[in-house]
Amino acid sequence: MTVPNRPPLVSVILSMRNSAATVEAAVRSVLQQTLADFELIVIDNGSYDQSGAIVAGFDDPRVRLVREPNTAFLGTRLKQAVGLCRGEFIARMDADDICFPDRLASQVARLREDPGLDLVGCRAVVFTSDGELVGELPMPCAHEDIVARPFAGFPLPHPTWCGRASWFREHPYDADISYAEDQDLLLRSFRHSRFGAVDAVLLAYRQDRLALKKLLQGRLVFIGSLWRYGLATREVLPVVAGISNHIIKAAVDIATVGSGLNRLMQRQRLTPVSPAVVPQWRELRGLLRMPPNLSGNTPRAA
């Protein structure tokens, strides 16, 4: 597909693997953005279903599909995607997410009104594959609140990110870790960055259930990131306290999710859906031609 000569304002990066059931709606949600000056870079991370064919079927020069025959870690593919970006800003999403129409416009406006901000998130509503709204991801808007407990983790959901391309290049993803690549990046960069968020629901995050294996692997990888950070900065005692906190949380995850209390645990991590979001979600589903019952539950880490 021919790439326009003029650089776009925003580069949206998305990695997918076997996402045929969800990627069409995800791409359509980007093409429906009120801010039209973007490129969408989709990296097919070794899919063996029709994911690549679905993306290739979009007749829009802003959609760039990169096919990779082999599967790699998500951090590897996102680092690759950042290297391909031509925009002033870079936005993230996954192949089973849905962007609300004003997402890019709102986040770019926030970054432009505050030149000191490097990266902003947004509020996100969690939905299941049958379209049910479950709750909203907690999202503080001030930098001080986002980095208040760095060794416990950063409440800045990865698919909501939109930041300056220069920041992504200065702070690259670690291509050698298998999970928690976002938390690792924030940990390595928070001392030298400013984060924020748009106080509006701009993304729908698909989550049918909490995956215990993914939760535990993510905690394990982030514990490794914490240990490396502690050794490098000599902040050993607070880092050890953070590691202990994650070990306790892992035990809670096993006791709750592992015992069948998945939906209860999922809801406890969320806040109630804002009443104004319900009609917006209904309208968006119709706009994207999403069927009443969406099949498939593809892994988020592609």
pLDDT at 294 over 50: no
Per-residue pLDDT, 93 = 97
User: Which range (18-22, 118-122, 265-269, 281-285) has the least confidence?
Assistant: 265-269
- Please choose, from the candidates 266, 195, 190, the residue with its C-alpha nearest in 3D space to the C-alpha of residue 235: 190
Per-residue pLDDT, 292 = 57
pLDDT at 1 over 90: no
Q: For residue 130, what are the contacts with CB-CB under 8 A and spacing of at least 6?
A: 292, 293, 294
Share of the chain above pLDDT 70, in %: 93
User: Which range (87-91, 117-121, 131-135) has the least confidence?
Assistant: 131-135
User: Which range (114-118, 207-211, 261-265, 293-297) has the least confidence?
Assistant: 293-297
* Higher pLDDT among residues 123 and 298, named by residue: 123
Average per-residue pLDDT in the chain? 92
DSSP 8-class letter at 271 = B
User: What's the pLDDT band for 48 if we cut at 50, 70, 90?
Assistant: very high
User: What's the pLDDT band for 212 if we cut at 50, 70, 90?
Assistant: confident
Per-residue pLDDT, 293 = 45
pLDDT at 12 over 60: yes
Per-residue pLDDT, 300 = 46
Note if the pTM is more than 0.75: yes
For residues 292-302, average pLDDT: 43
Element holding 27 (H helix, E strand): helix 23-31
CA distances from 253 to 104, 125, 221, 250, 256 (A): 34, 22, 16, 5, 5
What is the Cα gyration radius of the chain? Answer: 18
Element holding 121 (H helix, E strand): strand 119-127
* Higher pLDDT among residues 290 and 68, named by residue: 68
- Please choose, from the candidates 232, 301, 294, 300, the residue with its C-alpha nearest in 3D space to the C-alpha of residue 21: 294
pLDDT at 202 over 50: yes
Per-residue pLDDT, 175 = 95
Give domain 10-287's CATH architecture.
Alpha-Beta Complex (3.90)
CA distances from 172 to 46, 95, 228, 301 (A): 22, 21, 16, 18
Residue-wise pLDDT for 123-161, tens only, equals 999 999 999 999 999 899 999 999 999 999 999 999 999
User: Which range (149-153, 200-204, 266-270) has the least confidence?
Assistant: 266-270
Per-residue pLDDT, 256 = 81
Q: For residue 257, what are the contacts with CB-CB under 8 A and spacing of at least 6?
A: 210, 212, 215, 265
Per-residue pLDDT, 174 = 96
For residues 190-217, average pLDDT: 93
User: What's the pLDDT band for 187 if we cut at 50, 70, 90?
Assistant: very high
